[in-house]
Amino acid sequence: MAVPELSDDARRAALEKAAAARRVRAALKQQLRDGELTLEEVVRRGRDPRTEEDIVLSKTKVSAVLESIPRIGKKTARRTMELLDISESRRLRGLGDKQTERLLEAFDGKRPTF
């Protein structure tokens, strides 16, 4: 698919929107890292977006959210997702009910329980 030609104003607006989404995503991941939000809150908000912030969150990859949990790195996040049968490319909005349930059970504490 070809990239559409944008006017300078449209390009500038798109860049500002993307930067704002990155800031929101970074702030939410920091809140998860700091313990201000739980994994369950993040997942529930991402699956059922009600605010602009939640819409940005819904487009966040599950792996990025897991890596925001203290002491969970890329390897642990990837291994966990494999064991739970969640695709690496899956975003919060795309999680099924059973995937969500298994994910929240696995992270009942801070670290995976398997």
In-domain check, residue 3: no
In-domain check, residue 107: yes
Write the CATH number for 101: 1.10.8.50
In-domain check, residue 36: no
Domain membership of residue 76 as a residue range: 59-114
How high is the pLDDT of residue 2? 80
- Cβ atoms of residues 104 and 95 within 8 Å: no
In-domain check, residue 108: yes
In-domain check, residue 106: yes
In-domain check, residue 4: no
Mean pLDDT of 72-100: 95
Let me know the angle formed at the C-alpha of 12 by 30 and 68, rounded to the nearest 5 degrees.
15
pTM of the predicted protein model? 0.84
In-domain check, residue 20: no
How high is the pLDDT of residue 107? 87
In-domain check, residue 76: yes
- Cβ atoms of residues 35 and 75 within 8 Å: no
Domain total for the chain?
Answer: 1
pLDDT in tens, 25-84: 999 999 999 999 999 999 999 999 999 999 999 999 999 999 999 989 999 999 999 999
How high is the pLDDT of residue 109? 58
- Cβ atoms of residues 84 and 113 within 8 Å: no
